[in-house]
Each structure stands twice: as structure tokens, then as C-alpha cells.
Amino acid sequence: MRSKDRISYFYDGDVGSVYFGPNHPMKPHRLCMTHHLVLSYELHKKMEIYRPHKAYPVELAQFHSADYVEFLHRITPDTQHLFLNELAKYNLGEDCPVFENLFEFCQIYAGGTIDAARRLNNQLCDIAINWAGGLHHAKKCEASGFCYINDLVLGILELLKHHARVLYIDIDVHHGDGVEEAFYFTDRVMTVSFHKYGDMFFPGTGDVKEIGEREGKFYAINVPLKDGIDDTSFTRLFKTIIAKVVEIYQPGVIVLQCGADSLAGDRLGCFNLSIDGHAECVRIVKKFNLPLLVTGGGGYTKENVARCWTVETGVLLDTELPNEIPENEYIKYFGPEHSLKIPNGHIENLNSKSYLGTIKQQVLENLRCIQHAPSVQMQEVPPDFYIPDFDEDEQNPDERVDQHTKDKQIQRNDEYYEGDNDNDHNMDDV
């Protein structure tokens, strides 16, 4: 047992101020709400808080195609009508709209996950949290399911520089298809996704029969579930499968995607999980005492997303939170009870004992096909990305430098966001 976990937490208020558009279910404002709730419970005092760097296009192109990254960089709401063919090619449109500051939004959330991976690699922390990350649907050459850049794949690629085996676990209600697809042919990453499957539910993949191919055969695990699964069945299945996975695969590090759309009452979800049930999965994973990178993901009832990720921050800090939500900037969203608990779900549980038993049996059978953890000849570890030095001579001192640029010029080890220092404390609801 480690004596006390060192936790790094990444946040930039700018991610919460982007707007996908009217009627779009993705509300990045939920990230501001989460952060303020974390502050109101004073959890920031137990962690190191960092503003992530904005990932460079060359970093994003470690996974994504250079032409796709370049297009995301170039496109704006005002110019999109000139690029109808490209919009179709890169799957930008209704689900994945072009909005103001889209590329910067991607740079920040991806930068947070890459920075989290680097701090873990350099053993500067035991657990790293980036609630803005977890956008698991994005593909190499296209956007998908509200996701443009797949920060999880980029973070895992970074972890693979130092770890022979990475375990990826996904508890979003949607299948973690982008991450699975990226590592489908390798045994260096095992992907395990628990999700709703069937009834044309997005993205339509994630059957238990999808197990990986070539060197990756048996290294993709899918746990397809039906509507209405509850805490007891979900956590029991999760604990059994993940314990077996860790025992057999022996990962050096775990990446946990905590999509909160698997909660009861989610605008797009169909499960009956309480926040306690969802957080129990985080607790189970934490107990393995392996380096851990935790991200957000889906979640479309934003006050419940904020509740969930705050409770899970508490779990990672071994801190029980009082049910009554303290005064904070977004307190009105948590009324009338102002409590952390959420109402129980009322969706009928279509997951029979025999169905869940069959799924569990199939997964464990596939795991038995892996005789032992694959051995990887570890080469000399490549350096982290070359980041160009900041050249003061090129800066015109007469030009007004915005605060964000100034912040980037200072190396900070203890950047807290509290009170007047919080750059999003005047955020209106979006």
C-alpha cells in the first residue's frame, strides 16, 4: 500500500466557456460546475492543480491524420460553408458542429490528458485527473459522437513510452469505440468497455464477440448491457471482470474513462446507476494501487455530471463528502435539495441474471485464452515531445499580452483556482 496518493488535477476554465450550439446535448459548462463544486468542498487543498498546456498540432497528429488536424485548426463557423466536401469527409455537422474556438477547446482537453500521462510517466504523481478529457469516439480521420480529438488515445500512446501494458476501462453508457479501434491489433493495450448495446444505440458497436484481431486478439473486452442496469448488478459484474483482467493482464498503468451518462436520469442515457454505484467502480480501480489516469466523458444532465465527478474526486482523495452541497457559484443548479444524492432511476432493468451470467462467462472464457501477460522488450524511452522554447526577442513588448499567454510563460507547480483567480467565475449559463 502507498502511504498517501499524490494527485494531480488538470483544469482550464476556458474549456467550460465553449458552446456547441442551441439544443446540442453536450454542455462544456458542466466542467465549470464540476470545478466549482470541487472547490466548494475544498478538495483542491488536497491535490496539485495544473492548467494543462494546449496540445500542439504535431502532438495531436501522433494519432490523428495531419490533414484532419489541419482542417480542425483552420475551420471556423464563418468559413464552414466554403468547405462542404471536407465537412462531410471529416464527419463534422449536426453531432459534431463547428463552433467558435473549437480547435482551442480540443487543444486544452487533449493537453490535459497528455500532461496527466506525462506526470504519471515521470512518477510525479500516483493519480492524475482530467475531467475535461475522455472523448472516446473520435477516430483517426474523423469526428464522431461529440468528440473531435481522441485525448484518451493520445494519453495512452504517451503512457506506452514508459509502460509495457496499459489497461483502458470505460464506464460511459456508450461503447468506447474510438479507443478500442485504435488499439484493436495490439496486446500492449487492453480495452474494457461496459456499455449499452442494441436497439440501434450509438455507436452500434461493442458486442461481446468483438475481441480484437491479430496480436490484439482477446485484448479487447466488451460488456454489452441492456436498459436499466442497477448499482448491484453493474458493480458486481464490474468487480469480477476487472479483478480478473488485472490479475491476468498485469498492467503497469490504468486509464479510467468515467462517462457520467451511465447515471440514472441522464438526458441521453438509459441506465439506473446512482452516483454511489458509479463511484464504486472508481473505488474498485483505485484499490489496485496502480498508476491511474482518470478522465470524464459523456454526461448530459449537467448538474448530475458535476455531482458525480466531484464525488469521484473525493473517492480518489479518500475523502467522504457531506451530502449537503456548500455555497458556490452554481448552487442554484443543485436546488431545491442542494444535495449530492440523485433520485433513483425508474427504467425497467432488462438485464436478467441469466443474461449477465452468460456475458460474464464469455468474457472470462476469452480472458483464459491469454496464458500470461505479454512481454514487451522495452526500448530506450523516447523523449517527451520537443516543445519549442519561448523566444522573448520575438515578442513586441508594446503589444498587449493577454493573461492566458502570460500564464503560459510561467512554469507553475501550484496553480490554484479559487475566488478572484478563477478565470471563469463570471460564466453565465450556456
Binding site listing for a divalent metal cation: 172, 174, 261
Question: Reduced to 3 states, what is the DSSP secondary structure of residue 26?
Answer: coil
H or E segment to which residue 70 belongs: helix 66-74
Please give the single-letter amino acid code of residue 280.
Answer: E
Phi, psi of 266 (to 5 degrees): -70, 145
Q: Which residues are annotated as a binding site for substrate?
A: 95, 145, 300
Cα dihedral sign, 360-363-366-368: negative
In b/e form, how buried is each residue of 94-103, taking b as 16+ CB within 10 angstroms?
Answer: ebbbbbebbb
Question: Reduced to 3 states, what is the DSSP secondary structure of residue 366?
Answer: helix
Tell me which of 64, 137, 163, 195 is the catalytic residue.
137
Instruction: Report the C-alpha gap between 185 and 162 in whole angstroms.
Output: 20
Q: Which residues are annotated as a binding site?
A: 95, 145, 172, 174, 261, 300
Instruction: Report the C-alpha gap between 396 and 404 in whole angstroms.
Output: 17
Q: Give me the residues paired with residue 130 across strands.
A: 295
Which DSSP state fits 352? -
How many Cα atoms sit within 13 Å of 197 on the Cβ side?
20
Instruction: Report the C-alpha gap between 141 and 148 in whole angstroms.
Output: 9
Question: Reduced to 3 states, what is the DSSP secondary structure of residue 425?
Answer: coil
Cα dihedral sign, 159-410-133-261: positive
Quick check: is 346 catalytic? no
Question: Cell triple for residue 297?
Answer: 466523458
CA proximity to 211, closest of 368, 99, 96: 368
> Omega before 203 cis (within 30°)?
yes
**Contact yes or no for 3/288 (Cβ under 8 A):** no
End-to-end CA distance of the chain: 43
Identify the residue whose cell numbers are 487543498: 45
SS3 content of the chain, % helix, strand, coil (to 5): 40, 10, 50
Instruction: Report the C-alpha gap between 177 and 315 in whole angstroms.
Output: 27
**Contact yes or no for 133/147 (Cβ under 8 A):** no
Write out the catalytic residue numbers: 137
